[in-house]
Amino acid sequence: MKHFYLFIASALLWPVTSLAAQTDHLSNRLTQDHHPSIEPLLIRLLSENNTAASKQPALTSDQTDVSHPQADCTPNPDAQRVGIYHFAFDEVKWADLVVVNRHRVHKIAAPSLRKMMAAAKADGAPLTIASGFRSVKYQQDLINRKIKSKQSPAQIYRLSAPAGYSEHHTGLAVDFSPFDDSFVKTKGYAWLLENAHHYGWYQTYTEAYSKVSGVAEESWHWKYRGDDVAAQMLKNDACLLPDLG
């Protein structure tokens, strides 16, 4: 059953160019393993994700070609116990980090990030980085503080990735300010939805992704996967791609 739910999630992470092909693939799986209570939800989520895809154009074939055997699709066990799925990401070497807008990001993401922010500013939708690279230690300290404050595992892992499971470890993810729900109302967010893909940047925690992973929606969190190196570093995205077995 766990793999079946992950399979449903796999159809929703990245925008796809052909919803019909995606639906055929899922229909074949449903025929083999019939779950009548799940089918209405699946149909509704596919429809919602197709609408979201119109806002963020599909990735190119090069950008989506990350489903390889090196992906580690073992979810964090603590989060999984409360129905939330986080996958591991390696920490970037310190020497590969550079400063953009007073925050450290991976050097391969920096040029496109600078260009994107300059373009947004020119269009009257300025973007300010609130957070960039985070070490595994930083993330563990964050989780420890939440545990100490008596937050439940569901509260913790819905909003924060476990140490070793955050995209911020790679240096390829940034949070824009304000990094809370008010960001969705900003000109910056509207601009990102229309233009970020031109620079290789994509929103990870969309509404559709939140519904199937249990992770809270984050309009402010964006990651760079605009070249082969970035795709390799984010290879565990393959865990939620449509070709999951």
Distance CA 46, CA 8 (A): 9
Whether residue 85 contacts residue 75, with contact meaning beta carbons closer than 8 Å, is answered with yes
pTM (two decimals): 0.72
Q: What is the average pLDDT value for the chain, to the nearest integer?
A: 78
Domains detected in the chain = 77-238 (3.30.1380.10)
Whole-angstrom distance, CA of residue 239 vs CA of residue 13: 10
Partners of residue 105 on adjacent β-strands: 98
The model's pLDDT over 98-149, given as tens digits with 9 standing for 90+, comes to: 999 999 999 999 999 999 999 999 999 999 999 999 999 999 999 999 999 9
Which residues contact residue 213 at a Cβ distance below 8 angstroms, ignoring those fewer than 6 apart?
A: 9, 84, 85, 240
Cβ-contact 90, 175 below 8 angstroms: no
Tokens at 9, concatenated: 């999630």
Give the three-state DSSP class for 76: coil
* pLDDT tens sequence across 28-74: 433 333 333 333 333 344 344 444 434 544 433 333 333 445 788 89
| Burial group, residue 48, by CB count within 10 angstroms (0-12, 13-18, 19+) | middle
